[in-house]
């Protein structure tokens, strides 16, 4: 449960139920109301210690760990707009006592920070102040679709294990430039993440990168574009966007890895965002229990596909 913000050094002993969480995720929940940027600062500067030693934000807590928290002084964060918070209710696709799945809108970050005051987690914590919400995985700010949020640490650990072992299958829809070769059903290209001087994350294919695999299947062809159904087998940052560009078919509306001329052309069809949508999740809890949740395409993306289809039909008539 969230705790009062310490105004002096505090020592916590990690319980068995808290064990297994990344320390940054634990602190976001435990220090409710402390800005994300401040949490990362005290981790980066070594003010947070575990068993008297410095740790990285990715460190996973162990039962009986002794966690040292420094006194915390920070500016009061801006509260989320109640209208934005309430709008999250309309995005809920599935909910039970342990798991929440929403259809995240494009343009909404999963977390506040880096100049963003409001994200999915901030909204949910404002909406359900007495509940524990943690991201199971992430979606880029410009990507829409299925996003899993765990309500309990035990569910978070279970879903992370399923992600590691392939028990969760993700299906995306993406509109890409050109005609995708139907023989190209898998891209395996190592990805390396780089942080620019501006702080922006960029990912590129590199021999020293991490192994990355993405499956591709053609969903629909148009005159100059292809709608793909995509299954990432690994979960690297920007994986789908980089792999499609590496294959010579950047995603429509991708201003970071895409083709500027192609993006401008797609404006004619009313596309003003990244055409990448997390369409479906298949969660295999066991051989007997499987949960499948789908998120419909946003109306504006459906309209883009309809215009492309109409133009393709006209070209066939000619």
Q: Please tell me whether residues 291 and 186 are part of one structural domain.
A: yes
| Domain assignment of residue 193, yes or no | yes
What would the two tokens of residue 261 be? 């001329």
Model confidence over 17-38: pLDDT tens digits?
889 999 998 988 888 777 777 8
Q: Are residues 61 and 121 in the same domain?
A: no
* pLDDT number for residue 39: 85
Confidence of residue 119 (pLDDT cuts 50, 70, 90): confident
Burial of 174 (0-12, 13-18, 19+ CB in 10 A): buried
Domain that holds residue 114: 88-150
Strand order, beta sheet including 66-69: 10-13, 66-69, 49-50
What is the CA 253 to chain-centroid distance, rounded? Answer: 18
140 is catalytic: yes
Are 49 and 110 members of one domain? Answer: no
- Cα distance between residue 31 and residue 25, in whole Å: 10
Residue 171 lies in a domain: yes
- Binned at pLDDT 50, 70 and 90, residue 1 comes out as very low
Whether residues 169 and 311 fall in one domain: yes
Burial of residue 125 (number of CB atoms within 10 Å: 0-12, 13-18, 19+): buried
Does residue 4 lie in a domain region? Answer: no
**Same domain (yes/no): 193, 226:** yes
Measure the CA–CA gap between 99 and 293, rounded to whole angstroms: 12
pLDDT single digits (tens) 58-85: 999 999 999 999 887 655 445 556 666 7
Helices 36-44/23-30 angle, 10° precision: 130
Strand locations in the chain (E): 10-13, 49-50, 66-69, 92-95, 99-104, 134-135, 144-150, 168-177, 186-188, 191-195, 201-205, 213-221, 225-232, 276-284, 290-294
**Residue 4: is its pLDDT beyond 60?**
no
CATH of the domain at 58: 3.10.290.10
| Residue 82 located in a structural domain | no
Name the token pair of 65. Answer: 């760990």
pTM, whole model, 2 decimals?
0.75
- Greatest distance between any 2 Cα atoms in the chain: 76
Whether residues 171 and 304 share a domain: the answer is yes
Write down the catalytic residue from 17, 75, 90, 140.
140
Residues 190 and 275 in one domain: yes
pLDDT at 129: 74
**Residue 79 placed within a domain:** no
Which residue from 107, 63, 62 is spatially nearest to 87, judged by alpha carbons? 107
Measure the CA–CA gap between 260 and 238, rounded to whole angstroms.
18
Give me the number of domains the chain comprises.
Answer: 3
Phi, psi of 44 (to 5 degrees): -65, -40
């Amino acid at each position: 449960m969230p705790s009062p913000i310490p105004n002096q050094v505090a020592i916590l002993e990690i319980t068995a139920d808290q064990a297994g969480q990344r320390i940054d995720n634990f602190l976001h929940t435990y220090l409710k109301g402390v800005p994300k940027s401040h949490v990362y600062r005290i981790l980066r500067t070594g003010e947070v210690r575990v068993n008297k030693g410095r740790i990285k934000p990715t460190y996973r807590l162990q039962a009986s760990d002794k966690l040292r928290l420094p006194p915390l002084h920070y500016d009061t964060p801006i509260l989320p707009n109640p209208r934005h918070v309430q709008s999250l209710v309309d995005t809920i696709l599935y909910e039970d006592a342990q798991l929440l799945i929403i259809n995240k809108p494009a343009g909404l970050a999963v977390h506040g920070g880096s100049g963003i005051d409001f994200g999915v987690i901030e909204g949910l914590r404002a909406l359900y102040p007495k509940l524990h919400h943690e991201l199971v995985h992430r979606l880029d700010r410009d990507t829409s679709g299925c996003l899993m949020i765990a309500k309990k640490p035990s569910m978070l650990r279970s879903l992370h294990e399923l992600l590691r072992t392939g028990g969760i299958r993700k299906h995306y829809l993406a509109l890409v430039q050109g005609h995708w070769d139907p023989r190209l059903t898998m891209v395996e290209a190592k990805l390396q993440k780089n942080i620019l001087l501006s702080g922006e994350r960029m990912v590129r294919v590199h021999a020293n990168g991490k192994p990355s695999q993405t499956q591709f299947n053609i969903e629909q062809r148009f005159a100059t574009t292809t709608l793909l159904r995509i299954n990432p087998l690994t979960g690297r940052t920007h994986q789908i966007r980089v792999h499609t560009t590496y294959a010579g078919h950047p995603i429509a509306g991708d201003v970071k890895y895409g083709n500027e001329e192609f993006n401008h052309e797609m404006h004619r069809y009313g596309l003003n965002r990244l055409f990448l949508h997390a369409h479906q999740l298949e969660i295999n809890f066991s051989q007997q229990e499987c949960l499948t949740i789908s998120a419909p395409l946003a109306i504006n993306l459906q309209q883009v596909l309809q215009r492309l289809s109409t133009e393709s039909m006209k070209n066939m008539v000619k």
